[in-house]
């Protein structure tokens, strides 16, 4: 069984600021903000939500099918997928654009400031979701606005259950649009901040939101996650990381584990426990796609 992963492919430029953002920004001077951060370390990684989730699923032995768009600089990304055994049949190349680019700066407390250029991602809606015998599951992850709206409707029309993961794309949608996503989706996955924003825009509480889907997952970073089913909350504790190096891509690794578990027919608590383990593995490595999963991780699932 394969999982269709609708979302972005991007190059991540990751910078480390050795101080704290809070010590460099004066709240009373935000109207004339002008700051500069010295970043002694810089690296460029393969990223984007679809790429990161596909990487996680492949590490777990799954069959991810990323549906995304790359630009005229995306040949290296496609080669990487091929080397990893990830299909590129649903990756569209846009020759007059760059691949999406994320510039991510992390301070010593793992706070992040990100600048994002969407590039080819804005043409992702040209890809179409259609029913296929081997595709039984999907996810709508952060992508171009039109792509997210259209792919959710297409998943529903094709009878493919999917996870709605608004992520950084959540501010693009109003309450009615978000309610439609939830109506179409089988599961919703958000972090705690996104969960509060989603509920605020829809005018509901988490318990009510969970009654509209099969399951609602709220990740809590180092505190693990909450799973909500039919108004009932359950906490799944975090897995301690060997070391905290880089949080970039942790949420996507978690979602890859979620999809892997859903593919296997697991309950949400078991999916969440694997997600917490994968997040702990990822945060101990720099970049979103540089960790590896050994048999011991799956043996504990």
> Strand pairing partners for 275?
none
Let me know: does 217 contact 262? Beta carbons within 8 Å: no
Let me know: does 101 contact 10? Beta carbons within 8 Å: yes
**Phi, psi torsion values for 257, nearest 5 degrees:** -65, -40
Residue found under tokens 């996507």: 252
87: left (phi over 0), alpha (psi -120 to 50) or beta: beta
Residue 252 designated active-site: yes
User: Which of 8, 91, 5, 90 has its CA nearest to residue 46?
Assistant: 8
Torsion of CA 102, 108, 109, 113, to 10 degrees: -20
* Coil/strand/helix, residue 108: coil
Burial of 151 (0-12, 13-18, 19+ CB in 10 A): buried
Instruction: For CA atoms 113, 117, 122, 127, give the dihedral sign.
Output: negative
* Coil/strand/helix, residue 188: strand
Write 84-87 long-range contacts (CB < 8 A, 24+).
84/55, 84/58, 85/58, 86/54, 86/55, 86/58, 87/63
Name the catalytic one among 45, 107, 143, 252. 252
Could you list the active site residues? 252
């Amino acid at each position: 069984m394969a999982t269709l992963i609708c979302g972005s492919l991007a190059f991540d430029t990751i910078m480390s600021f050795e101080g704290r953002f809070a010590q460099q920004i004066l709240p009373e001077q935000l109207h004339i903000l002008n700051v500069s951060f010295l970043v002694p370390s810089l690296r460029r990684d393969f990223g984007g939500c679809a790429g990161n989730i596909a990487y996680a699923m492949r590490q777990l032995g799954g069959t991810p099918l990323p549906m995304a768009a790359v630009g005229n600089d995306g040949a290296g990304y496609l080669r990487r997928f091929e080397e990893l055994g990830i299909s590129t049949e649903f990756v569209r190349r846009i020759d007059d654009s760059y691949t999406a680019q994320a510039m991510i700066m992390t301070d010593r407390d793992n706070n992040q400031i990100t600048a994002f250029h969407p590039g080819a991602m804005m043409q992702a809606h040209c890809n179409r979701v259609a029913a296929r015998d081997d595709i039984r599951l999907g996810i709508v992850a952060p992508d171009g606005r039109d792509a997210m709206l259209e792919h959710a409707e297409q998943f529903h029309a094709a009878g493919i259950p999917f996870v709605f993961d608004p992520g950084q794309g959540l501010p693009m949608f109003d309450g009615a649009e978000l309610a439609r996503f939830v109506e179409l989706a089988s599961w919703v996955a958000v972090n705690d901040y996104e969960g509060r924003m989603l509920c605020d825009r829809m005018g509901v509480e988490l318990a009510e939101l969970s009654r509209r889907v099969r399951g609602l997952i709220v990740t809590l970073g180092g505190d693990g996650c909450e799973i909500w089913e039919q108004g009932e909350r359950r906490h799944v504790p975090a897995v301690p990381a060997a070391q905290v190096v880089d949080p970039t891509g942790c949420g996507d690794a978690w979602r890859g584990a979620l999809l892997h578990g859903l593919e296997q027919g697991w309950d949400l608590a078991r999916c969440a426990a694997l997600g917490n383990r994968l997040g702990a593995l990822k945060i101990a490595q720099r970049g979103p796609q540089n960790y590896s999963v050994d048999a011991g991780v799956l043996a504990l699932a």
